């Protein structure tokens, strides 16, 4: 498992293996979430609408939204 070291300027270098696996490029943003004594690193999506597209498909059956919209009238 690759390790990182914190520099005197409080910077870390993400190992090549990790950068390649996440397809990170210069300027990409990462989110750091602290949960107790653990840190979770998440890659921030470039476009949020692409990241969440289709999530509602499993919640609502086909045609559900059209039926709901008709009930508003």
Given this model, what pLDDT does residue 54 score?
Answer: 76
Is pLDDT of 8 > 90?
yes
Given this model, what pLDDT does residue 37 score?
Answer: 92
Given this model, what pLDDT does residue 59 score?
Answer: 80
Check: pTM over 0.85? Answer yes or no: no
Token code pair at residue 51: 């990241």
Q: What is the pLDDT of residues 12-56, one digit of tens each?
A: 899 999 889 888 889 888 888 888 998 888 777 777 777 777 777
Cα-Cα-Cα-Cα dihedral of 31, 35, 36, 41, to 10°?
-40
């Amino acid at each position: 498992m690759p390790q990182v070291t914190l520099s005197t300027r409080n910077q870390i270098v993400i190992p090549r293996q990790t950068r390649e696996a996440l397809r990170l490029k210069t300027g990409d943003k990462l989110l750091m979430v602290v949960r107790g004594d653990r840190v979770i690193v998440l890659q921030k999506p470039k476009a949020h609408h692409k990241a969440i597209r289709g999530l509602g498909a499993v919640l609502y059956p086909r045609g559900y939204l059209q039926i709901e919209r008709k009930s508003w009238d």
